[in-house]
Amino acid sequence: MGTNEISTAHLNNRVGPVMRAGEMADAVVEAAHEDNPGKEIRVDDKRAYVRIETDNEMILRRETLERALGRPFKMPDLEIGLSSFAGRVETQPDLIRFYLIKQV
């Protein structure tokens, strides 16, 4: 992200996690595509971390992450690889939701 993009980041509608690179980030990318059909998912791989984003709302479901990882998964475990996020976050036992509320 260039300096101009950083200074205007608050003006866009992008939401989603920033993950440390690795197995969990790969699973989140896969789940983002599967759990948000019809949405453009942008993936910015910076080697050490991966920014996964879309406009307005992104949902990641536990069952999709389990399938991508090939093992059982608990939603709080996502926080281990989560270094940051854009938007607001809502967590439930079976999903995590990144979303945006625009102030008028």
| The two structure tokens encoding residue 73 | 């998964």
Question: What is the band of 44 on the pLDDT scale with cuts at 50, 70, 90?
Answer: very high
pLDDT at 6 over 60: no
CA gap 101, 36 in Å, rounded: 18
Instruction: Please provide the average confidence, as pLDDT, over all residues in the chain.
Output: 90
CA gap 61, 59 in Å, rounded: 6
Question: What is the band of 9 on the pLDDT scale with cuts at 50, 70, 90?
Answer: low
Please give the single-letter amino acid code of residue 13. N
Q: Which residues are paired to 43 by β-bridges?
A: 52
Q: What is the tens place of the pLDDT at every residue in 14-42? A: 999 999 999 999 999 999 999 999 999 99
- State mean pLDDT over 55-75: 97
Per-residue model confidence (pLDDT) at position 3: 46
Q: Are residues 14 and 1 in contact, defined by beta-carbon separation less than 8 angstroms?
A: no
